Structure 1
Amino acid sequence: MSEGEKLIPINIEDEMKTAYIDYSMSVIVSRALPDVRDGLKPVHRRVLFGMHDLGVNSRSAHKKSARIVGEVLGKYHPHGDTSVYDAMVRMAQEWSMRYLLIDGQGNFGSVDGDSPAAMRYTEARMRKISEEILADIDKETVDFKLNFDDTLEEPTVMPTRVPTLLINGATGIAVGMATNMPPHNLTEVINGTLAFMDNNDIEVDELMTHIKAPDFPTGGIIYGYEGVREAFKTGRGRIVMRAKVGFEEVDGRECIIVTEIPYQVNKADMIKRTADLVNDKKIDGIANIRDESDRNGMRIVYILKRDATPNVVLNTLYKFTQLQSSFSVNNIAIVKGRPQMLNLKDLIHYFIEHRHDVVTRRTQFELKKAEARAHILEGLIIASDNIDEVIALIKASKSTEEAREKLIERFKLSDIQSRAIVEMRLRQLTGLEQDKLRTEYDEIMKLIEHLKALLADVNLRIALIKEELTEIRDKYGDERRSQIEYSGGDVSIEDLIADENVVITISHAGYIKRTNLTEYKTQNRGGVGQKSAGTRDQDFLEHMFVATNHQYMMFFTQKGKCFWMRVYEIPEGSKTAKGRAIQNLVNIESDDKVKAFICTQDLKDQDYIKSHNLIMVTKKGQVKKTSLEKYSKPRVNGVAAITIKEGDELLEAKLTNGESQIILAVKSGKLVRFEETKTRPMGRTASGVRGITLKDDTDEVIGMVTVDKENINDSQILVVTENGYGKRTKLVDEDGEDVYRITNRGGKGVKTLNITEKTGKLISINAVTDADDLMIINKSGLTIRMAIEDLRVMGRATQGVKLINLKGKDSIAAVTKVMKDDVAEVVVDEDGNIIESDAIERVKPVLEVLEDEGVEEDDDEDETEENDAEDETEEDDSDDEA
């Protein structure tokens, strides 16, 4: 320290705060964030201005990048050469900028992430649109400031005619903040700007009819519109982008073809990561990946395995790879020296405000220049009108200064006018030249009048700005590259799963699985069946249902609880697989078991859930109707579906539209049919009312069928007994008479099948048509599938026909109807051998029992609805969990 200097003690914490704030503001304002007016960060502005100084415009030859970088570094940008070259390269990359500002020649990198060649090898020049950004910069339209060493001046902002910030976006990380602005289509942006100028009170929603969404240079698809709307309205949002894909068959294999990828995605990295996921078995269905991109465009080929479902594989790629990515919008720009969050309307407003300022300053400059020229012309015209006197006065003068002074004194001229007259050439004394002076003066005066009008009338300036914007749109506008899918959204798990028909089976011990319906083949009745399920000793299949993967499932337990699950959440297994314990999937008590299952549509659809009811029946004949809306809020631990009385259990649950007919059947072979409207809607926890009167204590309900009124005439009832006998009967005969007459609920019912020791008790009832197949599973695990149309329609009070051959003490475990498929009929024996079609007749013949129309039905009496007040114990209809 030299003598006389003083040390000033400063708290290091305070000094660090001050210094860091200064540093951060320098980074924010002078490096990382764009100016809202011209949309450029300082480095980009300096690159373009440096090229302008060098004269490297769109009409000149390309110049070495190193020369341009050196010009910018030496004059304006006191940072590393890499920062300048990287900024220049990005302005020349068609996958980075929606509208290129620099025309590069040489290797400027690739969408695969390849580095550009060194600056000594590449060349560049400005593109035509860049000249629009610099237009009028020499007309005092913007402020200039001294460069880093105070030797030169550089512009603080460009007088751009183009809304650069909106059409090209910007990305930058400052201190404590960052900006990430997407590019947009120039035609749309200018149309939106013109709409704003017509109505300054325009809302963002109306602007969005012109500027529909960002428009990325790599094209692709904007998937979903909510993020776009949020970004336009608030300046922040998440925009989901997807690759543009198609399906082709190449060499007999189904392929997914990608021709456009999301913005800022590295193609090579995306392919490598996808291959890694395929090798790690995290993505299934892809056999090979080829990159066939060339100078004609992008083409990535995903070759699928033969058993793969293309849409499912594609959705999996969207979920786990960069074929779908997102762009997080954060519209922060420098506004009057401060960073500010901006929505779509703000961005347009500040651009128009800048254009007003530029046009005003340009007009003032041109007016000043025109008035100066008019002033000189006035002096020249005076001189030409008095040319002889002027010549004599000049000849008599001893010097130029003396001549100028005499001219000023004689003709009342200014110093500038006298100087112009003295410097006038002799050729301007001709008559033709004097006429030109007057013509030029008249034109200048008209120009001055126009420029003054512009300055005085804001509407004229608005019209001029609109005219210039229209010229820019017509000159540089193009079609949108990024498509918009307005209904899109995030990929959900169900998008990754094909919505196929499946069979859900539940064993007596509570094991569940789903199997593709195509695994079950159609057989003729009387076959011995095909091995269907591997079960433990003393376990057997008890329930079988047909559904689709995307449907909702509602499980109803025998104790009256309801649980929810999606079909695809059930573990998949082959026909011979055991399945998985239901207790491992839903929180069912150890002494409870699933008894009923319903497939529903979207539980969030208010119209759907309010127009449908759940009809439940217990083994003791209690029936309850409740709106589906009461069950539309799934819970992990389930909810109470019905209150079950002691000694009873829930047997069945059906979904109805409120206008159905309900049919209940009991073990003893009786059936009751009544209108759904006879059962009033009850709360979720109610116990219900009596639906049918049982024969004795050993009798119980074995099933329930609901039939829509419009299907009554075509509906048929199929009943099956425990020993394999069954029949189908129409609800309405050919004369339009009810075969099973409609009664009040609570009666004893009418006979539907003659129960004998040979047939065994009734165990199943289903509503069927000729378009259905019947699937029967016995307790030993064998299954048979047959066409309903192969069973002839029979009368109500008959014994039926034998449907399946049972061995020993085996009996029927479950019966269900399934949709008919197109699989050829085959019969498989117990050892898995296919029986030839001509051998089917040699299968044990079917025993038919003829109808006995003369059977008198003593108990087929008129039923009356009994007083069920004591049975309608409806409990609190709350949503408390059971």
Structure 2
Amino acid sequence: MSTDTPDDDDVAERIEHVRVEDEMEQSYIDYAMSVIAGRALPDVRDGLKPVHRRILYAMHEDGITSGSGHRKSSSIVGTTMGDYHPHGDSAIYDALARMAQDFSMREPLVDGQGNFGSIDGDPPAAMRYTEARMSPIAEELLDDIEKDTVDFASNYDDRLQEPEVLPSAFPNLLVNGSSGIAVGMSTNVPPHNLGEVVDATIELIENPDATVEDLMEHVKGPDFPTGANIVGRNGVHQAYKTGRGRLRLRAKFETDEEAGRIVVTELPYQANKARIIERIADDVNEGEIEGIRDLRDESDRDGIRIVIELKRDAMVDVVKNQLLESHLETTFGVINLALVDGQPRVLDLKETLQEYIEHRREVVRRRSKYDLGEAEDRAHILEGRLKALDNVEDVVEAIRNSDDRDAARAMLQEEWAFSEEQAAHVVRMQLGSLTSMERASIEEEYEDVQATIDRLETILGSAEELDQVIVDELEAVAEQYGDERRTGFIEDTGSVTHEDLIPESEQVVVMTEDDYIKRMELSEFRAQNRGGKGIIGTGLKEGDAVASVFVANSHDYLLCFTNHGQVYKLKTYEVPEMSRTARGKSAVNLLDLDDDEQIESVVNTADIEHDGEAEEQQFLTMVTRGGYIKRSGVSEFQNILSTGIRAISLEDGDRLADVEVTDGAQDVVIATRNGMSIRFDETEARAMGRTARGVRGVDLEGDDEVAAVAGIDESRNSWLLTVTENGYGKRSDLDAYRVQSRNGKGLIDIKTNERNGGVTALDAVGPGDHLVTMSEQGQIMRCPVEDLSIVGRNTMGVTVMDLEAGDRVAAVDVVDAERIESDDEE
């Protein structure tokens, strides 16, 4: 037995040599185009992807219309998969289910019965449980498909024909939108209001030179099925002009300040309600959102209703903005990408409508040709019937004498010039149709058919008439299915922060030795004459005492320096506002302090100039109880962590005494508890990093320690003010303090005898400034600094504040004249 073996040369000739990279490139391009055209992108003409088009066509072919009964979804999916869409059943069912979701589609194309999913993200029930049929508006997409209005192609196995596009009686791409991810590109077309889109389409038909701006007079913006609001119009304009844009979508909600609640009634498109509620609850539990005490989902079939109950002291606008920033506002990225002649293109609003109009013109033109042919065929038959009636007796006699039907047809064609179609029809006529009444009916029908022919010929012969047909049909669709806009527009007014809701005013901030802190309006403490007892400024728990007091604007940032050499940053309004008799709130709730860490000094950043070069030349000048001084540039304190940062290194047993803002060209005065003072140029203490200890500023004797430091600005300051712990004080001219070198013993500033006690505070003051003095037991007094007599150094001073027995001055702050005038104006 012999076998034929191929010749090696023949085999070699049939082998084609191809570069691997070229083959991979071409194969990938073929795959990409298959995904782009056959799966992921909608056609600009009917706005459908192949899967949606095939589902609707399969339902149409099976007669599952809006007037029929519902059919099991599994049956529809099976027909679609078996006849037209050779892909997985889950992908087909997902597409079917989405077309039935009124929260996904602006005009649902499927009328579903059963569970087709929810806005909470619940999936549809299994396809064997749900039923579906076409919605009425879906039939508008397929209307006249039998009249050769669109091209058909063979299905995947060449058994059947399927439409390449649907006739689409309305611009479905814009009305229902589309989203999909292809290879290397994606589309995200938002849904729109049917009436607005139809109006814009008619405008473009009647005025082809209309601009995008002209069309936007009709199409105000996307109209999402879930309603909500679009924030601002810039994103809409950009999307319509370029085909790409970003829209900010915001939930609709109502605020009831009396009841203390926020009620959400509409959510942004494609938002998951259950997930939003869960994330809000998580943020409340983690402290990211403050002021919410309860959260309920009261939504039902009538609509969305999320109730957010607020705490009594919550600021509604602040909570609202926290919710908007994280949960109730989303972004929709518009990418108006669709297939045009099988190629993906990004289209602006006008181009999208132009493509639809051209498609619709082609559909109406082809339909008119089809209808004209049908009408002409009918007119031809009617002419034959009328001719037969004109010769009815002879025709009947001739047919009676014919051997068979074929002979009768031949005789009619030969004797009276009937066409073959006419002769066949006459032969099949019943005798009853030969009555005079039937003749009248035929003549009437013939006139109607002739009128139809004339009308169709007019449409085919006139572009204006054809366009008018399109306009009339669009208006009919809009009238039948159109509704009001659901999505509104709101202006972008920006976020309202906690700070925005707090009026600017001067505040008195009080801290105790046990680190209780609070603030009060400075206006609560009217100016008195020196020597008064003042009024109660804070309540104290047993064993506690006032440690410091200072005045700051409610919007100022405060730098809080501690005994550990750390510095923290705090906004004045973050300090709880309380009554004069209240104790305050523990500072550990505001600052991340260690157990044994206490606030020693506070600097108001309002005293720092924030204008570039001036800021670079400013310093925080720190002095310690042990006599050290250190200057560090303010720029080193710009990024302060919530856990604080190192401000100064301290020797064992030393503590921070005071901090002052200086400008690099000032003199500083250090005051000691025993009444000594030393004035020197601040540059004698060179600028150092934050972690440095500093250099000696004053040479202390015995058990003396530093009480305070002051920076002298001779353009504003006229005197040095000193206050002692027993409530005495004085003003002295600056000239009384000669400039020395640092680390000297200095000069006597004030007598610290038994009457005066030790020095508590020293500051540089000017005309119009006020002195705020607070005792350890919580009494506070405010008086003009000019009430204190001007005396020389080494004097006793006068009574500043009349203290109760056993009480002492705890802290002093000076409010400059400008801040007092500003607060009075407010």
CA displacement at 1:164 relative to structure 2: 0.9
1:189 aligns with 2:197: yes
1:167 aligns with 2:175: yes
Query: Structure 1 765/218 Cα, relative in aligned 2: closer, same or farther at 3 Å?
Result: farther
Task: Report what 1:304 is aligned to.
Answer: 310
- Rounded Cα–Cα distance in structure 2 between residues aligned with 1:385 and 1:41: 56
Equivalent residue runs for 1:361-760 within 5 Å: 361-488=366-493, 491=495, 494=497, 498-501=501-504, 503=506, 517=520, 521-522=524-525, 525=528, 526-527=533-534, 529-530=536-537, 544-548=551-555, 596=607, 700-702=714-716
Q: Which amino acid aligns with 2:373?
A: K
- Rounded Cα–Cα distance in structure 1 between residues aligned with 2:4 and 2:498: 77
Task: Report what 2:149 is aligned to.
Answer: 141
Query: Structure 1 571/286 Cα, relative in aligned 2: closer, same or farther at 3 Å?
Result: closer
- Rounded Cα–Cα distance in structure 1 between residues aligned with 2:767 and 2:295: 53
Aligned Cα RMSD in Å? 4.8
- Rounded Cα–Cα distance in structure 2 between residues aligned with 1:514 and 1:351: 69
- Rounded Cα–Cα distance in structure 1 between residues aligned with 2:295 and 2:664: 62
- Rounded Cα–Cα distance in structure 2 between residues aligned with 1:41 and 1:569: 59
- Rounded Cα–Cα distance in structure 2 between residues aligned with 1:449 and 1:290: 66
1:349 aligns with 2:351: no
Structure 2: gaps spanning 5 or more residues? 511-515, 541-545, 560-568, 577-583, 593-602, 613-634, 640-661, 669-711, 730-750, 757-761, 791-797
Deviations 1:442-468 (A, max 9, x none): 111111111111111111112221111
1:201 aligns with 2:209: yes
Q: Assess if the C-alpha contact under 8 Å between 2:774 and 2:809 holds in 1.
A: no
Task: Report what 2:677 is aligned to.
Answer: none
Q: Which amino acid aligns with 2:483?
A: D
Query: Structure 1 779/48 Cα, relative in aligned 2: closer, same or farther at 3 Å?
Result: same
- Rounded Cα–Cα distance in structure 2 between residues aligned with 1:268 and 1:593: 45
1:53 aligns with 2:61: yes
Q: Secondary structure at the match of 1:91?
A: helix
- Rounded Cα–Cα distance in structure 2 between residues aligned with 1:2 and 1:374: 69
Equivalent residue runs for 1:298-337 within 5 Å: 298-321=304-327, 323-337=328-342
Q: Secondary structure at the match of 2:146?
A: coil
Deviations 1:140-185 (A, max 9, x none): 1111111111111111111111211111100111111111111111
CA displacement at 1:529 relative to structure 2: 4.8
- Rounded Cα–Cα distance in structure 2 between residues aligned with 1:480 and 1:455: 36
Q: Which amino acid aligns with 1:90?
A: R
- Rounded Cα–Cα distance in structure 2 between residues aligned with 1:205 and 1:376: 53
Query: Structure 1 411/781 Cα, relative in aligned 2: closer, same or farther at 3 Å?
Result: farther
TM-score by length of 2: 0.69
Q: Which amino acid aligns with 1:337?
A: G
- Rounded Cα–Cα distance in structure 1 between residues aligned with 2:274 and 2:713: 71
- Rounded Cα–Cα distance in structure 1 between residues aligned with 2:505 and 2:4: 92
CA displacement at 1:485 relative to structure 2: 0.7
Q: Secondary structure at the match of 2:458?
A: helix
Deviations 1:775-809 (A, max 9, x none): 824698977477x9xx9xx9xx9xxx998547878
- Rounded Cα–Cα distance in structure 1 between residues aligned with 2:175 and 2:381: 45
Paired-residue identity, %? 41
Equivalent residue runs for 1:115-126 within 5 Å: 115-126=123-134
Q: Assess if the C-alpha contact under 8 Å between 2:205 and 2:467 holds in 1.
A: yes
Q: Assess if the C-alpha contact under 8 Å between 1:28 and 1:175 holds in 2.
A: yes
- Rounded Cα–Cα distance in structure 2 between residues aligned with 1:329 and 1:522: 58
Deviations 1:234-273 (A, max 9, x none): 1111111111112247xx9622211111111111112122
Residue of 300, 324, 339 corresponding to 1:294 = 300
Deviations 1:676-716 (A, max 9, x none): xxxxxxxxxxxxxxxxxxxxxx9945479xxxxxxxxxxxx
- Rounded Cα–Cα distance in structure 2 between residues aligned with 1:2 and 1:520: 114
Q: Assess if the C-alpha contact under 8 Å between 2:771 and 2:813 holds in 1.
A: no
Query: Structure 1 499/169 Cα, relative in aligned 2: closer, same or farther at 3 Å?
Result: farther
Deviations 1:331-376 (A, max 9, x none): 1111011011011111111111111111111111111111111111
Task: Report what 2:772 is aligned to.
Answer: 776
Q: Assess if the C-alpha contact under 8 Å between 1:775 and 1:783 holds in 2.
A: no
Task: Report what 2:745 is aligned to.
Answer: none
Query: Structure 1 644/66 Cα, relative in aligned 2: closer, same or farther at 3 Å?
Result: closer
Query: Structure 1 554/310 Cα, relative in aligned 2: closer, same or farther at 3 Å?
Result: closer
Query: Structure 1 781/346 Cα, relative in aligned 2: closer, same or farther at 3 Å?
Result: farther
Q: Assess if the C-alpha contact under 8 Å between 1:223 and 1:488 holds in 2.
A: no
- Rounded Cα–Cα distance in structure 1 between residues aligned with 2:4 and 2:28: 29
Q: Secondary structure at the match of 2:260?
A: strand
Q: Which amino acid aligns with 1:813?
A: D
Q: Which amino acid aligns with 2:146?
A: D
Q: Secondary structure at the match of 2:147?
A: coil
CA displacement at 1:593 relative to structure 2: 9.6
Q: Assess if the C-alpha contact under 8 Å between 2:558 and 2:570 holds in 1.
A: no
Residue of 10, 24, 36 corresponding to 1:28 = 36
Residue of 85, 96, 101 corresponding to 1:93 = 101
CA displacement at 1:521 relative to structure 2: 4.9
Q: Assess if the C-alpha contact under 8 Å between 2:547 and 2:810 holds in 1.
A: no
Residue of 234, 237, 245 corresponding to 2:245 = 237
Q: Which amino acid aligns with 2:89?
A: D
- Rounded Cα–Cα distance in structure 2 between residues aligned with 1:301 and 1:156: 48
Q: Assess if the C-alpha contact under 8 Å between 1:104 and 1:123 holds in 2.
A: yes
- Rounded Cα–Cα distance in structure 1 between residues aligned with 2:242 and 2:457: 40
- Rounded Cα–Cα distance in structure 2 between residues aligned with 1:595 and 1:75: 77
Query: Structure 1 809/702 Cα, relative in aligned 2: closer, same or farther at 3 Å?
Result: farther
Q: Secondary structure at the match of 2:275?
A: helix
Q: Assess if the C-alpha contact under 8 Å between 1:722 and 1:763 holds in 2.
A: no
- Rounded Cα–Cα distance in structure 1 between residues aligned with 2:435 and 2:158: 50
Q: Which amino acid aligns with 1:435?
A: A
- Rounded Cα–Cα distance in structure 1 between residues aligned with 2:134 and 2:800: 85
- Rounded Cα–Cα distance in structure 1 between residues aligned with 2:132 and 2:771: 75
Q: Secondary structure at the match of 1:346?
A: helix
CA displacement at 1:505 relative to structure 2: 7.7
CA displacement at 1:597 relative to structure 2: 6.5
- Rounded Cα–Cα distance in structure 2 between residues aligned with 1:514 and 1:27: 66
- Rounded Cα–Cα distance in structure 2 between residues aligned with 1:478 and 1:635: 61
Deviations 1:376-414 (A, max 9, x none): 111221221122222233233323222222222232332
Q: Secondary structure at the match of 1:95?
A: coil
Query: Structure 1 21/546 Cα, relative in aligned 2: closer, same or farther at 3 Å?
Result: same
- Rounded Cα–Cα distance in structure 2 between residues aligned with 1:569 and 1:403: 110
Query: Structure 1 258/420 Cα, relative in aligned 2: closer, same or farther at 3 Å?
Result: same
CA displacement at 1:74 relative to structure 2: 1.5
- Rounded Cα–Cα distance in structure 1 between residues aligned with 2:210 and 2:777: 71
Q: Secondary structure at the match of 1:138?
A: helix
Q: Which amino acid aligns with 1:328?
A: G
Deviations 1:36-76 (A, max 9, x none): 00001111111111111111111111111111111111111
Q: Secondary structure at the match of 2:48?
A: coil
Q: Assess if the C-alpha contact under 8 Å between 1:194 and 1:466 holds in 2.
A: yes
Equivalent residue runs for 1:818-829 within 5 Å: none
Deviations 1:595-617 (A, max 9, x none): 846999xx9xxxxxxxxxxxxxx
Structure 1: gaps spanning 5 or more residues? 508-512, 534-538, 556-565, 582-591, 604-633, 650-697, 705-718, 727-756, 768-773, 823-882
Q: Assess if the C-alpha contact under 8 Å between 1:254 and 1:306 holds in 2.
A: yes
Q: Which amino acid aligns with 2:772?
A: I
Query: Structure 1 576/127 Cα, relative in aligned 2: closer, same or farther at 3 Å?
Result: closer
